[in-house]
Every structure is written in C-alpha cells, then in structure tokens.
Amino acid sequence: MEDKRKRLFSGIQPSGCITLGNYLGAVKNWVALQDEYDCLFSVVDLHCITVRQDPKEFKNRSLDFFAMLLAAGIDPKEHVLFFQSHVSCHAEMAWLLNCYTYIGELQRMTQFKDKSAKHADNINAGLMTYPVLMAADILLYQADAVPVGADQKQHLELTRDIAVRFNHAYGDTFKIPEPIIPKVGARIMSLQDPTSKMSKSDPNPKACISILDSPDTIMKKFKSAVTDSEAEIAYREGKDGINNLLSIYSAVTGTSIEDAVNTFAGQGYGTFKVSVAEAVIEMLRPLQERYAEIKNDKAYIESVYKEGAERAGRIAHRTLTKTMKKIGFMIP
C-alpha cells in the first residue's frame, strides 16, 4: 500500500561527536517526526571532507554515528537510514545543480564565511559548493519537509531557490521543501560561551556535552557552566547562560520554560545546574545502553545500511533520471 504521508529528509555529518545540541535540536525531533512523515535519514559523510579527515577515524566515527541514530530510536524498518556516500546519485545531482547555482549565492552563505575564517589554509571548492550538495541531498528525494536548525535555514532557502529556478527553466521537476524548525531545543548554546552555539568542534571540552559522556562528566560540565552574577533564575535578555540551561531543561523534561522558572524560583544556581545535569543524565541513560548493544552488532549495522542504500538509491535514481531527461541528456 502506497504511503500517503508527506516525505521528510534530514542528514547529520559524522564529525566530532553527537552533542546534546545535535540530539535535542535534530535527532530527538527526527524520532518524534517518524509517526507523521515518510522519512529518509542519512549520515551525510560526503560533507565531511571539506575538512581533512584521518581515514581510520573517519570510518569509525561514521559507523558510530550510524549506530547512535539506531540507538536514538530511528526505525529502519519503517523508514530509510543510509550513508550518503553509498548512493552515488548525490554526487551526480550535486554537479547538475552546481550549474544552476550562482557564485554570488554561495559567497553570501554565512557558514562559508565562518568556515573559511576557521580553515584559512584549506579554503577548497567543496567548502563553497557544500550547500549545493545539501540541495542535492534534499531534492533527490522530493522531500516535502526538512527539519533544520536555525543555522541551516539559509542553506534550505538556497535549496528552494535552486529548485524554483530549475522548475522555471524545465517545468515541474522538484518539490519545493518546507523547513521544520523546532521551537524549543533548536539552538542549544555552549556551556562556556552561551552566546555561541554548542559545537562538536569547540576546543574547550567543558563547552560541549557529548551524548556518550559519562554521568560524572556531564555533572562536572554543567556545574562549571557559565551563568551570571544575578543569582536569579529567570528567562530574559542578558541572561544567556541561564536562558540556555532553562532551554535544555525544558527540552529534556518537556516542561515549559515558564514552569521551569517557577519550579526553581528562589533556588541557587548550583542547585539548578545539578537538576539540569540530572535530567540530562536520565534522558541519555537508555540511549547509551542501547548504543552499547548496537555498536557490538556489526552484522546488524551492515544489514541496515545496505538495505537503506538500496531503498534510498531507488528513489534517488528516479529523480536523477528525470532531471537529466529534462536537461536533454541521452539516457541509456
């Protein structure tokens, strides 16, 4: 029976580790969205090589991320989970779409400017055309919706522009995807610099919570989280550290920020930090236990990614063939 649900695509780069920010802002929402959408989820490993990778570490980390998504609750029987590099249509479609994307559009991308500043010794062409590969990832699967963090919204807008431009030139080819941006937990900030997003590449190990961190490590990191000198638990402008902790507590427990403020009113920051840490530890405990089981079952992981690539490949190949026909290529 044909699935009448709208289709959703999302991917995660296997770089660094899956942070609490990645989990709350993306992966946790993916799991929740499985009931509503026909989903394709991908470990988008091709995106990683804009930065030089150690081959062995890269391979192991990619497998870790895949296992982590399974542990988090992605259902590979109902939905498609695969490695981007296992479906060659991604690279082929990216080349086609490169030819319908303007240099000026890519130069304006905030992430390109940021990454160029961070990797001044390796400003490669892939760093600039990264958003086109992202567009290919999405448009290949005729996705109706794409869950994105606020920092990726600009890339999705470019994807929509490319799709509209191509459709205008050749007729209806691509669906125009809509963004899904979660209201809470979409942008979890650094524990040491709460004006910056929590990043898996942060050089300060205290700034970021990995979802595989031990309970002791999580507690220590939260206890050292930067706050302010007001000693008042409130959510308002100028209280970036407390705002971030309240957002984390709200996303982890399902409590509204207003209710969380009322719960901890009159308590010290130390007590509040411990409560946030305990909530995070309890949320991650079953995920960590499940991950430990899956990580050791290499045959299961391989069976999932092979089947995922086959299922994704069938959809992607149809779209790629349709696109090439529209352009005028000879199709064998």
Distance CA 25, CA 251 (A): 9
Helical H segments across 1-109, by residue range:
20-22, 28-33, 55-72, 89-98, 103-107
Distance CA 276, CA 241 (A): 13
Nearest to 148 by CA among 163, 131, 161: 131
Phi, psi of 12 (to 5 degrees): -135, 135
Asked if 143 contacts 7 with a C-beta cutoff of 8 angstroms, the reply is yes
Nearest to 216 by CA among 268, 270, 281: 281
Pick the catalytic residue from 6, 200, 206, 322: 200
**3-state DSSP helix/strand/coil % of the chain, to nearest 5:** 60, 10, 35
Q: Is 4 among the residues known to form the active site? A: no
Pick the catalytic residue from 28, 175, 197, 273: 197
Sequence-separated (6 or more) residues with CB below 8 Å from residue 229: none
How far, in whole angstroms, is CA 209 from its chain's centroid? Answer: 15
Q: Is 223 among the residues known to form the active site? A: no
Helical H segments across 210-268, by residue range:
215-223, 240-253, 257-264
Q: Is 239 among the residues known to form the active site? A: no
Question: Going edge to edge, which strands form the sheet with 38-43?
Answer: 80-83, 38-43, 7-12, 145-147, 178-180
DSSP three-state, residue 222? helix
Q: Half-sphere exposure (CA, 13 Å, Cβ side) for 24?
A: 29
Residue 242, number of CB atoms within 10 A of its CB = 26
Active-site residues, by number, are 115, 197, 200
